[in-house]
């Protein structure tokens, strides 16, 4: 067992744990986006950054990939960490405002505005689909192509994949292409912190918990009462 200090607390961790795993074990919440139990840590979204070290020489590292060492000093919610996380969420939000996962993150971290040009991209390149396809489904049907602004996730040479079994795991894990939230005030991108709003679609769909708070205006459900079959 190794001993390290998280947020002033001396904690013990197994040698093979990451900082994130250790923090979670002790109930310290670190926001994540491209991390998922059962998949290898990727370290791409950087939301799980923590500040390590002491004094002047501290630095930010992604806790999901950083292995614990003896005597490591970690701060999960320092001023520097929070400021960076907020900007990262703002970057995510500006490129894919329709993702509920991202909107929820924004609401949780208190991101109230987006100062960048709003894009409506379909993918945030978190790589969850690539990993679940390779690691859990054993198919390796999709992967990253190109780099920089031209990056995309697709099958080799964009051809119909022979190894893809259409299991849908990639769609299941995707935080961007799930149920789309159009937002109550689209120009503002931030959808109005859904977490605080009462679900109102319930008058149409009593069984569905809608977080949109848009009284059917959100675009995903319809105003009319669903026609009864037959």
Partner 1 sequence: MLAEVKADRIRTSEDLEEVRAKIIKGRSSKIPCIVIPSGTCCQARGSSEVVEAFQQEIEKHSLQDNIALRITGCGGFCQSEPNLIIYPEEVYYQKVSPDDAEEVISETVLRGRVIDRLLYADPNTGERFAHLSEIPFFKKQKRLLLANNLQVNPTSINDYLAAKGYSALSKVLQEKTPDEVINEIKESGLRGRGGAGFPTGRKWELCRKARGDVKYVICNADEGDPGAYMDRSLLEGNPHSVIEGMIIGAYAIGASEGFIYVRNEYPLAVRHCRLAVQKAREYGFLGNDILGSGFSFDIKISMGAGAFVCGEETALIASIQGGRGIPRQRPPFPAERGLWDRPTNINNVETWANVPLIMTKGASWYSKIGTEGSKGTKIFSLVGKINNTGLVEVPLGIILREIVYDIGGGIPRGKRFKAVQTGGPSGGCIPSSLLDLPIDYESLKEAGSIMGSGGMIVMDEDTCMVDIARYYTSFLNDESCGKCLPCRKGTQRMLEILTDISEGKGEEGDIGLLEELALVTKDTSLCGLGQTAPNPVLSTIRYFQDEYEAHIKEKRCPAGVCKELISYYIEPDKCQACLICLRNCPVEAITGGKGLVHIIDQEKCIKCGTCLDVCPPRFGAVTRLSGEKVPEPALQGTEVIRKRSGETDVNT
Residues in touch with partner 1 (CB under 8 A): 42-46, 49, 59-62, 65-67, 80, 83-84, 87-88, 91-92, 94-95, 115-117, 124-125, 127, 143-144, 146-151
Nearer to partner 1, 67 or 138 (CB): 67
Interacting residues of 61 by C-beta distance below 8 A, sequence separation 6+: 19, 49, 50, 52
The strand pairing partners of 87, in sequence order, are: none
Q: Closest separation between CB of residue 137 and partner 1, Å?
A: 19
Q: Closest separation between CB of residue 94 and partner 1, Å?
A: 8
Nearer to partner 1, 188 or 217 (CB): 188
Q: Closest separation between CB of residue 115 and partner 1, Å?
A: 6
Nearer to partner 1, 104 or 215 (CB): 104
- Please answer whether residues 107 and 86 qualify as being in contact, where contact means their C-beta atoms are separated by less than 8 angstroms: no
- Please answer whether residues 61 and 101 qualify as being in contact, where contact means their C-beta atoms are separated by less than 8 angstroms: no
Three-state secondary structure of 34-78:
CCCCCCCCCCCCCCCEEEECCCCCCEEEECCCCECCCCCEEECCC
Nearer to partner 1, 127 or 213 (CB): 127
First-to-last CA distance in the chain? Answer: 65
Q: Closest separation between CB of residue 49 and partner 1, Å?
A: 5
Nearer to partner 1, 59 or 165 (CB): 59
Q: Closest separation between CB of residue 48 and partner 1, Å?
A: 10
Q: Closest separation between CB of residue 99 and partner 1, Å?
A: 13
Nearer to partner 1, 96 or 221 (CB): 96
What are phi and psi for residue 201, nearest 5 degrees?
-70, -5
What does the buried/exposed string (b/e) look like for 189-212 if buried means 16 or more CB atoms within 10 Å of the residue's CB? bbbbbbeebeebbeebeeeeebbb
Pairing outcome for strands 59-62 and 73-75: unpaired
Kind plus residue range of the DSSP H or E element containing 144: strand 143-145
Q: How many CA atoms lie within 13 A of 64 on its CB side?
A: 20
């Amino acid at each position: 067992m190794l001993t390290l200090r998280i947020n002033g607390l001396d904690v013990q961790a197994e040698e093979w744990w990451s900082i994130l795993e250790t923090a979670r074990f002790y109930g310290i919440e670190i926001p994540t986006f491209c991390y998922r139990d059962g998949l290898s840590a990727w370290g791409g979204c950087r939301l799980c950054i923590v500040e390590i070290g002491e004094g002047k020489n501290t630095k930010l590292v992604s806790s999901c990939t950083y292995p614990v060492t003896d005597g490591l000093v970690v701060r999960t919610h320092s001023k520097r960490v929070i400021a960076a996380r907020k900007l990262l969420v703002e970057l995510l939000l500006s490129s894919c405002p329709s993702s509920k996962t991202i909107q929820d993150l924004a609401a949780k971290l208190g991101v109230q505005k987006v100062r960048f040009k709003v894009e409506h991209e379909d993918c945030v390149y978190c790589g969850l689909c690539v990993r679940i396809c390779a690691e859990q489904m054993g198919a390796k049907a999709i992967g990253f192509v190109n780099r920089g602004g031209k990056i995309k996730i697709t099958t080799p040479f964009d051809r119909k994949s022979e190894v893809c079994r259409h299991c849908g795991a990639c769609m299941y894990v995707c935080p961007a292409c799930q149920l789309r939230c159009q937002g109550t005030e689209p120009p503002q991108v931030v959808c109005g912190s859904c977490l605080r709003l009462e679900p109102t679609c319930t008058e149409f769909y009593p069984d569905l918990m809608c977080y949109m708070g848009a009284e059917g205006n959100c675009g995903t459900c319809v105003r009319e009462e669903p026609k009864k079959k037959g």
